[in-house]
């Protein structure tokens, strides 16, 4: 699974421009799917039959998109003005390399020189309109030959393993969920499963609404990442969770109160099978579950996440063991759902 994750994290898929990621997943999934299609908003919906015929009762969900930038105009000097797509901390974007458009034009995010800033300016995160992207163009005309307003830009980060079992890459959020689902698609499943690879999660969980509305599942398990803050200077009660302590099983976040029985099921399965797990110790964030839960007459939702440092930054960090344990616990969850059907639950 780790090799798949590395490949996924090299693909550009800023919200609304997920084509490259969707093509990769389609090529992998089509070999194992009974049916798949891309809907009008860009979700990829994949159905695979299992040992138990259950139709669309169970849906697994992970989003394909990532945060990034979008070009808004080109200056007379050939620099690109832009806005962020999704929630990016402006202070961590300065000096970071990006690639723009489908031709992957290289650039770097810049800010005026520090010696030109006042003392008060230096104390604050820069405003987006004070930033620009330098693509090395000598003037506006040169830049216009390479890019145009509306082009997306993705951060550049080489995926790599480092330290004590950690993994660094951009877009771990949520390519790890996509990698888990691709691995499960290769396997014999205990029951029918619909896999929803969703679009535009980072700009308001927009794709998940269409996916859940068309699939209409009874239960949905969202495979995600969540913010870790296990860092120096952060008070213990604000650390949320930590890489390496196991998948995060959520009972609540900033957007969703999860189905309590499904939460208890995931916790029991983890404990019975020796899989480390943790909860979020600080209520914050949200994911596709918030939209899925509210679809039509309502959907029972659960979430399983990998604790990830520096979420929505040009480079994020997670634990390889957590990724593998997400896969193991999801397998156990599918088996449990099939068992309950056998017993008429």
| Angle, CA 189 vertex, CA 185 and CA 190 arms, to 5° | 160
At 262 the pLDDT is 97
**Predicted TM-score (pTM) of this structure:** 0.94
Identify whether 343 is a catalytic site residue.
no
The H or E element that residue 61 is part of is: strand 58-63
Which residue in 180, 121, 149 sits closest to 326, CA to CA? 180
**Catalytic residue chosen out of the listed positions 18, 201, 202, 224:** 201
Query: Please, are residues 227 and 311 in contact by the beta-carbon 8 Å criterion?
Result: yes
In three-state secondary structure terms, 181 is: helix
First to last CA, the chain: 32
The H or E element that residue 98 is part of is: strand 97-100
Local confidence pLDDT in tens for the 345 residues of the chain:
999 999 999 999 999 999 999 999 999 999 999 999 999 999 999 999 999 999 999 999 999 999 999 999 999 999 999 999 999 988 889 999 999 999 999 999 998 555 445 555 555 667 888 899 999 999 999 999 999 999 999 999 999 999 999 999 999 999 999 999 999 999 999 999 999 999 999 999 999 999 999 999 999 999 999 988 777 766 666 667 899 999 999 999 989 999 999 999 999 999 999 999 999 877 888 999 999 999 999 999 999 999 999 999 999 999 999 999 999 999 999 999 999 877 765
């Amino acid at each position: 699974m780790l090799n798949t994750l590395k490949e996924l994290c090299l693909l550009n898929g800023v919200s609304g421009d997920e084509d490259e990621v969707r093509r990769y997943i389609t090529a992998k999934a089509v070999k194992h799917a009974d049916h798949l299609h891309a809907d009008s908003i860009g979700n990829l919906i994949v159905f695979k039959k299992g040992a138990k015929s259950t139709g669309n009762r169970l849906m697994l969900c992970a989003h394909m998109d990532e945060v990034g930038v979008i070009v808004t105009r080109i200056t007379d000097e050939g620099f690109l003005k832009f806005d962020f797509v999704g929630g990016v901390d402006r202070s961590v974007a300065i000096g970071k390399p990006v690639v723009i458009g489908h031709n992957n034009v290289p650039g770097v995010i810049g800010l005026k020189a520090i010696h030109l800033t006042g003392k008060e300016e230096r104390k604050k995160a820069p405003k987006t309109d004070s930033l620009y992207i330098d693509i090395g163009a000598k003037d506006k005309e040169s830049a216009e030959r390479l890019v145009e307003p509306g082009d997306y830009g993705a951060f550049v980060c080489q995926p790599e393993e480092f330290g004590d079992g950690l993994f660094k890459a951009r877009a771990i959020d949520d390519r790890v969920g996509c990698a888990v689902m691709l691995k499960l698609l290769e396997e014999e499943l205990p029951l029918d499963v619909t896999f929803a690879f969703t679009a535009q999660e980072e700009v308001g969980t927009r794709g998940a609404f269409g996916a859940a509305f068309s699939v209409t599942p009874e239960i949905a398990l969202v495979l995600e990442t969540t913010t870790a803050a296990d860092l120096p200077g952060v008070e213990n009660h604000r650390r949320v969770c930590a890489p390496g302590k196991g998948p995060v099983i959520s009972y609540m976040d900033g957007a969703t109160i999860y189905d309590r029985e499904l939460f208890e099921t995931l916790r029991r399965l983890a404990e019975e099978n020796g899989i480390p797990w943790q909860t979020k110790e600080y209520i914050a964030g949200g994911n596709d579950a918030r939209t899925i839960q509210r679809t039509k007459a309502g959907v029972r939702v659960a979430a399983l996440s990998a604790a990830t440092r520096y979420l929505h930054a040009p480079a994020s960090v997670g634990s390889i063991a957590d990724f593998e344990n997400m896969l193991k616990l999801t397998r156990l969850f599918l088996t449990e759902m099939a068992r309950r059907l056998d017993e008429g639950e």
